[in-house]
């Protein structure tokens, strides 16, 4: 009769420790961990894409519906890309490019430009109103001989020239010019608060100009008659 091999002795404590060591391995822990919400979401998306691809390859009504879904999805993606690139803004594309140079040969007075600004503001055209307010400032500077009528100058050129004559007004000249350029050239939205801010800067500029005129020595025949009170 064949003799069976002896049954190995098993240490219960040792077996338990070995089992715990195996189960404590990272791969077993990861396998036992329930999927997170993010993992379930991506699993669901993967399943939907798989079903959609299967439907596209099949015929009949199911395939037609799948192609419609794909078409709508691609249309949405295309629309978002166009919005991102700014190519679907018909208003912006239709906006004319304003002249960069400021016309310095206009015969309109400060009062006339002021009335034009008020008319535009009453009509709700705050952008045109601010342009006229800037022309009020330019007319003031011309009347006080702080700038000349040389053509081809921009708003920034005018502010720089006037600031060189009246250094104390440089800050307000720069601030008023930036506001004007943002609205007129940059199509920034404007309203009554924009106008009030611009007027505050230009009023300060005129005040500094008066102080400059009062303090500047007047020589005979220097053309002081052109300065405004």
3-state secondary structure of 222: coil
Quick check: is 220 in a domain?
Answer: no
CA distance 106 to 189: 27
Q: Are residues 122 and 158 in the same domain?
A: yes
Residue 109 is predicted with a pLDDT of: 92
Task: Provide the pLDDT for residue 51.
Answer: 77
Closest CA to 169 of 201, 128, 198, 200: 201
Q: What is the pTM of this model?
A: 0.55
Q: What is the pLDDT of residue 199?
A: 97
pLDDT of residue 2: 59
Per-residue pLDDT at 91: 45
123 and 82 in a common domain = no
Angle between helices 155-165 and 170-184 (to 10 degrees): 170
Rounded-to-integer distance, Cα 63 and Cα 76, Å: 20
Question: Which of 51, 72, 95 delimits the end of a domain?
Answer: 95
Per-residue pLDDT of the chain (229 residues; tens, 9 = 90+): 556 566 556 566 666 666 666 656 666 556 666 777 887 888 887 787 787 777 767 766 666 776 777 778 778 888 887 777 654 444 444 455 555 667 666 778 999 999 999 999 999 999 999 999 999 999 999 999 999 988 888 999 999 999 999 999 999 999 999 999 999 999 999 999 999 999 999 999 999 999 998 887 654 344 444 445 5
Judgement on whether residues 135 and 165 belong to the same structural domain of the protein: yes
C-alpha distances in angstroms, 125 versus 28, 79, 179, 200, 222? 71, 32, 16, 20, 41
114 and 207 fall within a common domain: yes
Domain closes at, from 95, 121, 140: 95
Distance of CA 157 to the CA centre of its chain: 26
Residue that is written with structure tokens 């709700």 in the block: 124
At which of 46, 68, 95 does a domain end? 95
Domain of 66 in residue numbering reads as: 38-95
Closest CA to 169 of 193, 135, 139, 137: 137
Which of 48, 47, 64 lies closest to 56, judged by CA?
64
What domain count does the chain have?
2
Same domain, 44 and 73: yes
- Residues 183 and 130 grouped into a single domain: yes
Which parts of 4-36 fold into alpha helices (H)? 12-23, 26-32
* DSSP-assigned states of every residue in 31-80: HHSPPPHHHHHHHHHHHHHHHHHHHHHS-HHHHHHHHHHHHHHHHHHHHH
Task: Kindly state whether residues 86 and 175 are assigned to the same domain.
Answer: no
Judge if 117 and 198 occupy the same domain.
yes
């Amino acid at each position: 009769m064949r003799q069976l091999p002896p049954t190995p002795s098993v240490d219960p404590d040792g077996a338990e420790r070995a089992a715990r060591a195996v189960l404590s391995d990272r791969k077993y822990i990861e396998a036992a961990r329930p999927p997170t919400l993010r993992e379930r979401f991506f699993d669901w998306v993967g399943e939907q894409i798989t079903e959609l691809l299967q439907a596209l390859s099949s015929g009949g009504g199911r395939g037609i519906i799948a192609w419609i879904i794909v078409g709508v999805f691609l249309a949405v993606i295309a629309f978002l890309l166009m919005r991102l690139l700014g190519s679907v803004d018909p208003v912006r594309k239709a906006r004319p490019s304003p002249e960069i140079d400021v016309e310095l040969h206009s015969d309109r007075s400060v009062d006339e430009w002021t009335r034009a600004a008020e008319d535009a503001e009453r009509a709700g055209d705050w952008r045109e109103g601010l342009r006229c307010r800037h022309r009020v400032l330019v007319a003031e500077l011309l009347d006080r001989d702080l700038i000349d009528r040389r053509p081809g100058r921009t708003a920034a050129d005018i502010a720089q020239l006037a600031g060189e004559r009246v250094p104390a007004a440089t800050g307000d000249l720069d601030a008023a010019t930036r506001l004007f350029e943002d609205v007129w050239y940059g199509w920034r939205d404007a309203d009554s608060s924009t106008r009030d801010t611009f007027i505050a800067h230009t009023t300060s500029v005129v005040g500094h100009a008066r102080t400059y005129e009062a303090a500047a020595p007047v020589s005979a025949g220097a053309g002081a008659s052109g300065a405004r009170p």
